[in-house]
Copies of this chain bind each other. A is one copy, B any other.
Amino acid sequence: MQEIRLERSQYQCVISPYAAPVAHVRDGETAVFYTEDAFWGDLTSEDLDPKQLNTYSNPLVGPVYVEGAHPGDALKISILDITPTRDIAVSCIHREFGALQYNRRVKFLNDPLPLKVYLYHYKDGVYSHGNRLSFSPDPFIGTIATAPEIQAPSSNTPFEQGGNMDVPDVKPGNILYLPIQKEGAYLYLGDCHARQGQGEACGAALEIAARVTLKLEVVPGLTLRQPRIESPTELMCIGSARPMEDAARIACYELVQWMIELGWDAMDAYQAITMDSSLYVGNMVDPNYSLVAKVAKELAYRK
């Protein structure tokens, strides 16, 4: 099984079609990716300031060239396993970032919140920072994308080919489908979280370095506009946009389209998701908000 492990200097903080592939995988191959945490593994003490450590966060492994992947196909990513590679996780309240304070896009004249770093230690099945702040792991991939054809978005941004969606359903047992715009797909991933609530309120989850095992397959001719997720029991669509209602509409619109592909009449599908679907906030802190609409397969596959 191919293992893809980069030198520190090789990580990318953009999801770029212009970089040279760091590895090639075959269609159908299972590969292992060693990812760094969002802070480059440098936030090792609660006295450090992440802004002093690195200019860019969310270093990614990639681009990985998937053989046989053509523009207009989809990349089917079966998430087999995520294993943390250290026994700590790190989070922090940033000075000018997060849902409950002003930030780069919501500009206010108030004083910032004070920086506060949280180091969590893993022991006996939980990540803990004191008694109250202890959480069992439920790991997922925060950032995963194929490259756009000509743009190069930041590794902090969720967009139409994936990116920093921070959606907890991108986790082992589930399958992620990403649109392909570039020959070879150019897959990037990183920013794993040991656990995160919906919304990722303060903007930093339980950030971990991880060993990620993925099976990569090309689905020829499946042309997607947005990422999709399939769990054993559910179909999900992700919308990433601003304002948040634009993201919610995209997620719902794409779910209706998926049901139309399964044979539904458009208005009936619109009724169905009105009565029996979930719609949650993946992230409310990134340059785009990511929302997830989901419906049970039992309903979607009804005849």
Name A's B-contacting residues (CB within 8 A). 13-14, 16, 18, 56, 91, 93, 98-102, 105-113, 116, 118, 129-133, 135, 150-154, 195-206, 239, 241-246, 248-250, 252-254, 256, 264, 266-268, 270-281, 284, 289, 291, 293, 299, 302-303
How many chain copies?
4
A202 to chain B, nearest CB (A): 4
Contact call B291/A281, Cβ cutoff below 8 A: yes
Contact call B109/A196, Cβ cutoff below 8 A: no
Q: Which residue of the partner chain B has the closest CB to A301?
A: B132
Contact call B99/A198, Cβ cutoff below 8 A: no
A-B contacts besides A105-B241, A202-B274, A242-B246, 20 pairs, CB < 8 Å: A16-B150, A91-B274, A101-B109, A107-B250, A108-B249, A110-B110, A131-B303, A132-B268, A132-B302, A132-B303, A195-B275, A198-B278, A199-B248, A199-B252, A199-B274, A199-B277, A205-B274, A243-B245, A245-B284, A280-B280
Chain B residues with Cβ below 8 Å from A274 are 91, 196-197, 199-205
A198 CB contact (under 8 Å) in B239, B267, B277: B277
- 25 inter-chain pairs at a CB distance below 8 angstroms, sorted by A residue, are A14-B152, A18-B18, A18-B152, A99-B252, A100-B252, A107-B249, A107-B253, A108-B110, A109-B253, A109-B270, A110-B112, A133-B268, A133-B271, A135-B275, A151-B152, A197-B274, A197-B276, A197-B278, A198-B277, A198-B279, A204-B274, A243-B243, A252-B284, A279-B281, A281-B291
